[in-house]
Amino acid sequence: MSERVLIERRGHILVITINRPEAKNAFDLASAQAMHAAMDLLDAEDGFFVGVITGAGGTFSAGADLKAVARNERAVTERGGFGMFKRPSRKPLIAAVEGFAVGGGLELCLSCDLIVAARNARMGLPEVRHNVAAVGGGLFRLPRRIPYHVAMELALTGGFQDAEFFRHYGLVNRISEPGHALADAIAFAEELLVNGPTALAASKEIMLQSANWTDEEAWSRQAPIAAIAFEAEDRTEGLRAFAEKRKPVWRGR
């Protein structure tokens, strides 16, 4: 793993830290490749059930590294921009936001499933100020998650808003005091760990894919995804633990 993205195992949680504080955690190609590798690791290891993404130095991410852009370097891999926009991990991801999450930084949050943000965090899509469009998913993911006119105002003004604003519209799940977003995100992740990990991944996948299904299609298309959980070893363990009146010991398979 590159020094641009650090990883740390916290039991069944993989903590992923964007580590370019000198550049406000902006992404160049090497950063995107390192994030791609982190997503691969999270997907590949059964022992990881949830991922938490944060930034070093009190900033989540200022987006794309404009110096890299100026030399025609794109922070894109097979998983998409920043190594994950198009294809993030199949397992639940929580963004732990301190400071700024703007441009690609906000799009990185939108690639996650849950967001914990410090009260003084600032988030937005400033791309129009530079006469470019936010092509990392922000312009289609944001209006799916907050009201259309609110999303349009953010996209067309390029303005920033605080965590309470995004909490009000349902984008941010939980507000933290400054400096505590990562700890609170890990605590949030630990709440998920009581549940079956294969069921967590299947539930995420069905919810993501369902946006492309009609109600009639959904009944059949969810079945093979849900089967991954129903046929897993963890399903047997869950039933056995219930019968034995004990906590299940999940294995992620």
11-45: b or e for each residue (b if 16 or more CB lie within 10 Å)? ebbbbbbbbbeebbbbbbbbbbbbbbbbbebbeee
Q: Which of 8, 45, 78, 107 is catalytic?
A: 107
Helical ranges in 15-147 per DSSP H: 29-44, 66-70, 104-110, 138-145
Q: What is the dihedral of CA 5, 63, 150, 182, to 10 degrees?
A: 30
> Is 73 an annotated catalytic residue?
no
Characterize the bridge pairing of strands 50-55 and 13-18: parallel
The alpha-carbon radius of gyration of the chain (Å, integer) is 18
Residue 8: what are its φ and ψ, rounded to 5°?
A: -145, 130
> Is 190 an annotated catalytic residue?
no
3-state secondary structure of 120: coil
What's the gap between Cα 249 and its chain centre? 26
Q: Which of 8, 127, 190, 191 is catalytic?
A: 127
Q: Which residues are catalytic?
A: 107, 127
